[in-house]
Amino acid sequence: MKKSTKSDSIRNQTRDCQKFVKTRGYITDSLFEEEKMFPIAYSIMAFKSPEQFEILLRAIYRPQNIYCIHIDKKTSDSIFEEFSSMTRCFQNVFLASERISVQWGGKGELTQELVCMKDLLRYSKWKYLINLTGQEFPLRTNYELVKILKIFNGSNEGEGILKRVNKDRWAYAGQPPHKIRPIKGAVHVTVNRKFVEYAINNPVAKDFLAWVQKTGPVPDETFFPSLIHNPHLGIPGSFKGQVETDYSEKKPFLSRFKSWSGAPNYWPCHGYFVRGICIFGLGDLPLLARRPEFFANKFHIDHEPHTLLCLDQLLFNRTRDEYSGRLQFETDYYENLEYIKNVV
């Protein structure tokens, strides 16, 4: 995809917000009362490609939801202004109160998440929070997400792994506080509001955060998974069962679909690998279209951009057909998940 010129840049397009919202096809109605009464909060971490970010924002945008956007402090002023110009067109989309300089595997990756979480707590009505990056895309419509999250009934969703973990990452920091057992997992989570309140405000979480920040690389892969999988902390929605080993069908990781090179549940990658993760290509579309996860990671708009655009069209078509009554969402898979019934 070609880079934006000055005349067609997002900054230029958003000089007329009403025109921008209309011509880009944003959905500015809640569509269903059920969606209106179940707002979702999003924290989105981005550092490049405002054009790709805009496709993501448009796909997940609803007027009842709330969106916090964190732009890496290292991002150039001109690119930052592209992102900023979009947020000015929506009352429920805002930039994070603090910009963090993020290095892969460093403390900043977790800190930026916590900044947006804290900012989102200023808004009182949302039920669940989903954290994203600008290189992801939804596999579910907003209506489907609401249906699923109502079935989850407060359960927190996140990855938890023990067997394959190199525990040396934690050894340097000493014994974790409050008898917390460290758990590895993805930073990507889908969590209820009380979880976020605990993670930001509870003294136990603050003690654990201080400990996590003394551990090895990628502290973000320890903080949220450990809070979800230590039920003695009493965090509402946390998992009470035995942490499964790796990729078990008993506790699937639904917040994100990823294809890792060499993983036990390896899927063929029709794009290319970066740091072991598949950047999806056109050949991955049949698989992506039938996955049960909420979002997929990851996409690069400059690599086979029609991969992203086809998914965008698929999501639009599903939303249209839901609204017109031509498509019913089958929820049996989610209703039969045992682990969502085994929570605090």
Q: Which residue in 126, 164, 162 sits closest to 145, CA to CA?
A: 126
Rounded CA separation 203/320 (Å): 46
**Locus of tokens 């989903």:** 130
CA atoms in the 13 A half-sphere facing the CB of 94 = 16
Grade residue 2 by pLDDT with cuts at 50, 70 and 90: very low
Q: What is the pLDDT averaged over residues 189-208? A: 98
Rounded CA separation 62/28 (Å): 6
pLDDT per residue as tens digits for the range 293-330: 999 999 999 999 999 999 999 999 999 999 999 999 99
Q: From the candidates 35, 54, 221, 293, give the one annotated as an active-site residue.
A: 221
Residues whose CB is less than 8 angstroms from the CB of residue 158 and which lie 6 or more positions away in sequence, other chains included: 185, 186, 188, 189, 190, 191, 224, 225, 228, 229, 253, 255
Q: Which residue in 266, 123, 245, 255 sits closest to 187, CA to CA?
A: 255
pLDDT of residue 244: 62
Rounded CA separation 233/203 (Å): 11
Q: How far apart are the first and last CA of the chain?
A: 47
Structural domains of the chain in order of their starting residue, each with its CATH number: 10-341 (3.90.550)
Active site (annotated) includes residue 113: no
Q: Say which amino acid occupies 337.
A: L
pLDDT per residue as tens digits for the range 100-145: 888 776 777 899 999 999 999 999 899 999 999 999 999 999 999 9
Q: Say which amino acid occupies 212.
A: V
pLDDT per residue as tens digits for the range 25-55: 999 999 999 999 999 999 999 998 999 999 9
Q: Which residue in 272, 261, 262, 266 sits closest to 287, CA to CA?
A: 266
Helices 220-228, 203-212: inter-axial angle, 10-degree rounding: 140
pLDDT of residue 246: 46
DSSP lists the bridge partners of residue 70 as: 45
pLDDT mean across residues, the chain: 92
CA quadruple 169, 173, 179, 185: dihedral positive or negative? negative
pLDDT of residue 265: 67
**Locus of tokens 């498509």:** 327
Rounded CA separation 155/251 (Å): 12
Do 333 and 339 meet the contact criterion of CB atoms below 8 Å apart?
Answer: no
Q: What is the pLDDT averaged over residues 269-289? A: 94
Q: Give me the percent of the chain exceeding a pLDDT of 70.
A: 95
pLDDT of residue 4: 46
Helices 203-212, 107-120: inter-axial angle, 10-degree rounding: 160
pLDDT per residue as tens digits for the range 219-228: 889 999 999 9
DSSP 95-113: E-SS-----TTSHHHHHHH
For the entire predicted model, the pTM comes to 0.94
Q: What is the pLDDT averaged over residues 54-79? A: 96
In 3-state terms, what secondary structure has residue 35? helix
CA distances to 43, 114, 229, 268 from 198, rounded to whole Å, are: 17, 11, 14, 39
Q: Could you tell me where the beta strands, DSSP code E, fall in the chain?
A: 40-46, 66-71, 93-95, 128-133, 136-138, 157-158, 189-192, 256-257, 272-274, 277-279, 295-297
Tokens describing residue 185: 């997992």
